Each structure stands twice: as C-alpha cells, then as structure tokens.
Amino acid sequence: MALSDPGGILASPFTIIDCEDDMAGIDAIIDIVERQEVGQIIVGLPISMDGSLSEQAEKVKAFTRKLSGHTEVPVEFRDERLTTVEARHLMHEVKRARKKVRDDAVAAALILQRYLDEGHEPNL
C-alpha cells in the first residue's frame, strides 16, 4: 500500500497488507483509510500484457467490489503492468537493500504516483 502527501504531489510506500482472507484485508484497508483520512483509493489491476483481464485481475475486481461495499471513499483502478519490474529497477538504482522496502510497496507507490501525475487531486 502507498499513500500520497496531503497535496497529492508525491506517492510513498506505506505498508504491506498480507491477510489470509478478504474480510481481514478489507478491515486492514478501512482502518488505514480512516486513520490516514484517505480521500481516494487507487487499486492496481494486473492486466495481461495483451490487454486482457487475467484470472488474477478478476480476483482483484471481485475483492475491490467487496471493499467498495465497506467504504464511501471512491475506488478507481489503474493498470499495474510492469510496475514491479520498474520498482526493482528503481530499487537497484538507489542501491537500497531489498529488505528495507518490498517491491510491492514501491509498485503501489508507482501506481499512485502515476494517478497523481495525471493531474488528479486528492479528495480531502
């Protein structure tokens, strides 16, 4: 999971949510949304390289529908193709130890940063 600064300028890795079941994940996300006063949720959608929706993308969409039922915060999808590869490249460039920041957290920050770069302002 990544969060942006209040001005919607910069996305930063925040945490990893690793839950055994959907409700535990939803509860963890809602808790962060409320504590951090999140105004928009951006979900990375794992679209196949050919542009089709993979089985995993369908699972993400189903989870997101459940999440949307538990919050009034708007939820929007963003294509996450190659963000993990890009995150690994960035991690290598800045010579950080992989133990310090997991690839998924950096990928989440990249997804959110792309959303912010499109000119979207955070819903505060």
pLDDT (tens digit per residue) in 63-117: 999 999 999 999 999 888 877 777 777 766 666 555 555 677 888 888 888 998 8
Give me the pLDDT at residue 5, please. 86
CATH of region 2-117 = 3.30.420.140
Cβ 57 vs Cβ 46: under 8 Å: yes
Question: Under a CB-based contact definition with an 8 Å cutoff, are residues 123 and 74 in contact?
Answer: yes
Q: What's the whole-number mean pLDDT along residues 22-43?
A: 95
Higher pLDDT, 13 or 32: 32
| pLDDT on residue 122 | 61
In this prediction, residue 43 carries a pLDDT of: 92
Q: Tell me what pLDDT residue 94 has.
A: 65
Q: Enter the tokens of residue 60.
A: 């993400």
Q: Mean pLDDT, to the nearest integer, of 41-58?
A: 89
Distinct helix (H) and strand (E) counts, the chain: 4, 4
Domain residue ranges in the chain = 2-117
pLDDT at 97: 55
Question: How many beta carbons lie within 10 A of that of residue 107, not counting itself?
Answer: 22
The answer, yes or no, to whether residue 1 has pLDDT greater than 70, is yes
Q: Is the pLDDT of residue 13 over 60?
A: yes
Look at residue 66 in the predicted model and tell me its pLDDT: 96
